[in-house]
Structure 1
Amino acid sequence: MKKRLAVIGHPISHSLSPLMHNNEFHELGLDYEYEAIDVVESELELVINSFRSLDFSGFNVTIPYKEKVIPLLDEIDEEAAAIGAVNTVVNRNGKLIGYNTDGQGYMSALENISPTWKKKKILIIGAGGAARAIYISLLRHSAAMIDLTNRSVQKAENLKTDAKVSNSNVLSISEAEEQLGNYQIIINTTSVGMKHTSGVPLQLTNLNKEAVVSDIIYTPMKTTWLQNAEQKGAKIMNGITMFVNQGALAFKYWTGISPNQERMNQVVINNLKERNNQC
């Protein structure tokens, strides 16, 4: 009997996780099946409890349930607790244990493009769940200096307070734009620039051309913001590698096996290119 896995969220039909994971299970000859399940909030607890069935090895959690799922689990690991969100759950004999692979997934992606990132001055745009995972994970792994900017300055202040750090500055968007040349890494964690939306999260007029400009969006694969940064000579990084990395970490939690991340990455890229050609 196949072992079952899933990703839950609302909406969820756009998710590339089933494609990515099922292809890798097939390539490795593993008897697992991964599906996307759209869950309305009123049924969240019922669905979570159904995953305690022994044929479910675990599941992923995406928007809007990464925080709401925590009280429904039996245990969460230290990093997930610090972040305050769970995106990966392992079923150990009916006991549901939550993890957060988003922050580590991003950190691994950043390491590839900027091996000395721990010595760089970093600016994070946004203060939502993705910003929280990246901010806290980078801080926990010895980032030297990370500042925050957000349209709601208070929300960014709240994130800084929750992280219990004193050496971060919170800037308004206009302040961040003025001081942008001081940063070697700029990370957009907002949805501004995602497919079917317009605009940029931050003007790049004062960008240091030696900077790394990173966007966790992967649809489109190169947002207008990343195109602008590239034209200014900056290194750019979209959200594909983070998405694949966090998925690979979850894969190993469930199966105990490290997947082929290069193959997973190519499956995602090929699918995104196919979707773009159909538009």
Structure 2
Amino acid sequence: MIDGHTKLYGLLAHPAAHSLSPLIHNTSFDVTGINGIYLAFDVTSAGLADSLAAMRAMHIGGFNLSMPLKTDVLPLLDEITPRAERLQAVNTVINRDGKLIGDSTDGQGWVDALKQDNIAIDEAVVTVLGAGGAGRAIISAAVDAGAKQVYVFKRTNDLFDARREQPESWSDVVKVLPYEDESLIEKAFSESRIIANATNIGMAGDQSLPVGEGAMAQLTPQHVVSDAIYFPLETPFIRAAKKRHCHTYNGIGMLVNQAAGSFLEWTGQRMPTVPVIQAVHQAMIDRQQNEHAK
């Protein structure tokens, strides 16, 4: 029940209406009994400074942000955590008595999703496909979790050198390689235990695989294959990995667990991730059925 003590949290994004964050956090408030509510606000870069001023003035508990606000917000904050500093991106803002603190929980969400199934990153060889925002967050979290080696594959374009230098500066275990070199991907897959797709290949009806058949042939039942994409629930990459009897994970676990990081920082309580994942999974089934009905 909303009353005079209800604490407001929310998402700043453009567009914002499609977001699953309100479902995730409001389900969590319902299950835990916390007197809070989470709303989605359609905010562009031009309105970001005013939104943060309102956050301070109205004592709003905290916000999540999507791109490009994750980077636009940096100069507007009072403080950012070391992992947000490393990534130069913030997905979570905490309001501590008017002091706005930025953090990045995205990568830890990926680690925690695997931990829920007792899959440890410590001493594992990891391959990450893509070095965009999600990819860099996963790389950073894998380093923090003690990965033995992290192979990263990035398209060779104008951003290649910059995107290579940043994650390779985080740790000697990170190696950024050209995505176009299929033989290197095959070698990385054969050496890795954990493979994460952080590209958008396989999203929204795209039936492509992020790698060639030679790389897919390296997969065994010992491999853990994850995809940051959560719609569709089963991407072509996950489907192909299942056929090779890999342990597979779509992006729902990462999505919910990164939200759980925000929830913990805002409320001091752990998110009830099991019922939240069930709620998100059902929402994605409903969305897929609606898509097919069109």
Q: Could you tell me how far apart the structure 2 residues matched to 1:55 and 1:33 are?
A: 14
Q: Could you tell me how far apart the structure 2 residues matched to 1:140 and 1:229 are?
A: 26
What's 2:126 paired with? 122
Q: Could you tell me how far apart the structure 2 residues matched to 1:77 and 1:30 are?
A: 26
Report deviation, 1:263.
1.2
Secondary structure in structure 2 of the residue aligned to 1:51 = helix
**Structure 1 stretches of 5 or more lacking a match?**
none
Q: Using a 3 Å threshold, how does the CA distance of structure 1 residues 181 and 206 change in structure 2: closer, same or farther?
A: farther
What's 2:136 paired with? 132
Q: Is the Cα–Cα contact under 8 Å of residues 121 and 145 in structure 2 kept in the other structure? A: no
Q: CA RMSD in A?
A: 1.8
Judge which range, 77-86 or 194-203, deviates more.
194-203
Picking from 208, 215, 220, the partner of 2:219 is 208
Q: Could you tell me how far apart the structure 2 residues matched to 1:212 and 1:114 are?
A: 12
Report deviation, 1:238.
0.8
Q: Could you tell me how far apart the structure 2 residues matched to 1:158 and 1:184 are?
A: 27
Picking from 183, 189, 192, the partner of 2:198 is 189
What's 1:178 paired with? 186
Q: Is the Cα–Cα contact under 8 Å of residues 202 and 236 in structure 2 kept in the other structure? A: yes
TM-score normalised to the size of structure 1?
Answer: 0.93
1:259 maps to amino acid: M
Q: Is the Cα–Cα contact under 8 Å of residues 202 and 209 in structure 2 kept in the other structure? A: yes
2:186 maps to amino acid: E
Runs of 4+ in 1 over 3 A off after TM superposition: 153-157, 175-178
Q: Is the Cα–Cα contact under 8 Å of residues 6 and 36 in structure 1 kept in the other structure? A: yes
Q: Using a 3 Å threshold, how does the CA distance of structure 1 residues 205 and 20 change in structure 2: closer, same or farther?
A: closer
1:167 maps to amino acid: V
| 2:172 equivalent to 1:161 | no
Question: What is the aligned-residue identity percentage?
Answer: 34
What's 2:268 paired with? 256
Q: Is the Cα–Cα contact under 8 Å of residues 219 and 241 in structure 2 kept in the other structure? A: no
Report deviation, 1:196.
3.6
Report deviation, 1:153.
6.2
1:272 maps to amino acid: M
**Structure 2 stretches of 5 or more lacking a match?**
none
TM-score normalised to the size of structure 2?
Answer: 0.89
Secondary structure in structure 1 of the residue aligned to 2:239 = helix
What's 2:105 paired with? 101
Cα deviation 1:171-193 (Å, max 9, x = unaligned): 22224433232222111111111
Q: Using a 3 Å threshold, how does the CA distance of structure 1 residues 154 and 190 change in structure 2: closer, same or farther?
A: same
Picking from 22, 47, 50, the partner of 1:46 is 50
Picking from 31, 37, 41, the partner of 1:33 is 37
1:138 maps to amino acid: A
Report deviation, 1:250.
0.8
Judge which range, 220-229 or 111-120, deviates more.
111-120
Q: Could you tell me how far apart the structure 1 residues matched to 2:34 and 2:279 are?
A: 17
Report deviation, 1:116.
3.9
Report deviation, 1:114.
5.6
2:282 maps to amino acid: N
Secondary structure in structure 1 of the residue aligned to 2:41 = strand
Secondary structure in structure 2 of the residue aligned to 1:67 = helix
Secondary structure in structure 1 of the residue aligned to 2:72 = coil
Judge which range, 91-100 or 192-201, deviates more.
192-201
Q: Is the Cα–Cα contact under 8 Å of residues 157 and 170 in structure 1 kept in the other structure? A: no
Q: Could you tell me how far apart the structure 1 residues matched to 2:228 and 2:157 are?
A: 21
Cα deviation 1:53-73 (Å, max 9, x = unaligned): 244101001122111111111
Q: Using a 3 Å threshold, how does the CA distance of structure 1 residues 127 and 155 change in structure 2: closer, same or farther?
A: farther
Residue correspondences, number: 279
Q: Using a 3 Å threshold, how does the CA distance of structure 1 residues 170 and 55 change in structure 2: closer, same or farther?
A: closer
Report deviation, 1:157.
4.3
What's 1:243 paired with? 255
